[in-house]
């Protein structure tokens, strides 16, 4: 039945768009974009990830879904104020896209990315998301009348219909914005979609503090989980090179128009690649094809989305973004602290990244990654030197063993 995968694709696109478009626009605004440039970035991302899904799903007959990098957008929010030049940020997006292309063409780079220890990469992701995840708490204090209903709706639907929890929270936020503005949440803005070209500026500091962390977060927080989801669903013979090179090309094309990163989808992949899309795995590619077409249509509302963010209270927008990212934050924390032997490295990474510091113009994501890897390698070297197995908190293996095992 062809209707089932078509509907699944539409649902995946709608939930993907509604649950994170606010984060994307807020992130682009945070690194210097104007509202029109932010809306242009959202439009470019919708069009290119939609086209990529259509082309690769059609040619491979596999459910290959693509999306923008939500953790990457959160990184942009966390980097707010780190650069006043959106052109420099666009240059960093461009470098990110080139690195993803190289990852697809050069397997050694892909292996290097996947060899970043899970405690460090998970803590880096959690540290980037942490400031956003506490925003709902702050919002309930600063604007309780509007924020508390958003949180309550999200919490109730997390219990009853988790897939719709964030979209419903955004609807409540739109109502709140309308009440606060005394009318339409879009005001008198011109919200017709349009692309705005931004000349990339290759600023070394911005590339190091924004471009490289964006690449790492996109690979570790989006592409790797995306491959894992498809593998879990039974799709093992994937065109990995085409997927990575395609997403990297899409990113480089989106960058001059404000788009930050296109990558393999994880949540959407679970919807379009699972049995809910179609009982026959050979027919599920229709769902990603439908999702790609849906994203082309959703690009038409990018201007309205930008106008909404422009007129909304930043407190409410960041609160909704925080609710949308709690799941990803939880995944990062679990990955970071699962291994007792490397919890100190994870803690150091998390604390440095979450601090938001900038040294020599380079942001905390880079320094946190560097510090965490340093601690990780230090304690790994101690083990290789033949010392007793020592946990990072200073306790020995004997101290960690149950008392009855020591007798």
Distance from C-alpha of 9 to C-alpha of 272, rounded to nearest angstrom: 6
Over residues 204-230, the mean pLDDT reads: 88
pLDDT of residue 191: 61
Residue-wise pLDDT for 139-158, tens only, equals 899 888 888 998 999 999 98
In a domain, 400, yes or no: no
Decide: 298 and 193 in contact? Cβ < 8 Å: no
Average pLDDT, the chain: 84
Has residue 125 got a pLDDT over 50? yes
In a domain, 398, yes or no: no
Place of tokens 């259509």: 54
In a domain, 73, yes or no: yes
Number of domains in the chain: 1
Over residues 215-238, the mean pLDDT reads: 84
pLDDT of residue 403: 41
Over residues 117-121, the mean pLDDT reads: 87
In a domain, 402, yes or no: no
The encoded tokens of residue 84 equal 């006043």
In terms of DSSP bridges, do strands 358-359 and 362-363 run parallel, antiparallel, or are they unpaired?
antiparallel
In a domain, 319, yes or no: yes
Distance from C-alpha of 56 to C-alpha of 65, rounded to nearest angstrom: 9
Has residue 392 got a pLDDT over 50? yes
The 10 Å Cβ neighbour count of residue 102 is 16
The model carries a pTM of: 0.78
Range of the domain at 35: 3-381
In a domain, 307, yes or no: yes
In a domain, 191, yes or no: yes
Residue-wise pLDDT for 341-357, tens only, equals 899 999 999 999 898 88
Over residues 126-137, the mean pLDDT reads: 87
In a domain, 393, yes or no: no
């Amino acid at each position: 039945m062809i209707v089932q995968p078509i509907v699944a694709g539409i649902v995946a696109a709608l939930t993907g768009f509604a649950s994170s478009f606010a984060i994307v626009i807020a992130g682009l605004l945070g690194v210097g974009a104007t509202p029109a440039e932010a809306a242009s970035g959202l439009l470019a991302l919708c069009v290119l990830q939609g086209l990529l899904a259509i082309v690769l799903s059609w040619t491979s007959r596999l459910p290959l879904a693509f999306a923008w990098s939500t953790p990457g957008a959160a990184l942009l929010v966390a980097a707010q104020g780190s650069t006043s030049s959106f052109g420099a940020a666009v240059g960093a997006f461009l470098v990110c896209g080139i690195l993803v292309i190289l990852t697809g063409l050069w397997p050694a780079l892909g292996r290097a990315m996947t060899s970043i220890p899970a405690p460090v990469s998970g803590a880096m992701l959690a540290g980037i998301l942490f400031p956003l995840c506490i925003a709902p708490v702050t919002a309930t204090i600063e604007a309780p009348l509007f924020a508390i209903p958003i949180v309550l709706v999200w919490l109730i639907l997390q219990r009853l219909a988790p897939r719709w929890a964030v979209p419903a929270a955004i609807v409540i936020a739109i109502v709140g914005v309308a009440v606060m503005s005394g009318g339409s949440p879009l005001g008198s803005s011109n919200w017709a979609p349009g692309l705005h070209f931004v000349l990339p500026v290759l600023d070394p500091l911005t590339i190091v503090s924004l471009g490289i962390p964006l690449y790492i977060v996109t690979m570790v927080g989006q592409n790797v989980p995306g491959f894992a989801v498809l593998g879990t669903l039974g799709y093992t013979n994937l065109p990995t090179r085409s997927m990575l090179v395609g997403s990297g090309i899409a990113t480089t094309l989106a960058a001059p128009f404000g788009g930050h990163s296109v990558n393999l989808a994880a949540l959407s992949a679970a919807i379009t690649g699972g049995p809910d899309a179609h009982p026959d795995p050979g027919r599920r590619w229709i769902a990603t094809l439908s999702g790609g077409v849906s994203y082309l249509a959703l690009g038409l509302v990018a201007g309205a989305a930008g106008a909404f963010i422009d007129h909304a209270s930043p407190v409410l927008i960041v609160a909704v973004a925080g609710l949308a990212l709690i799941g990803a934050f939880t995944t990062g924390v679990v990955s970071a602290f699962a291994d007792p032997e490397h919890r100190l490295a994870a803690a150091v990474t998390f604390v440095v990244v979450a601090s938001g510091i900038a040294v020599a113009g380079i942001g905390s994501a880079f320094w946190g990654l560097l510090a965490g890897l340093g601690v990780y390698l230090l304690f790994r070297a101690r083990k290789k030197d033949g010392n007793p197995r020592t946990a990072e908190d200073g306790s020995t293996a004997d101290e960690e063993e149950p008392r009855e095992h020591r007798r």
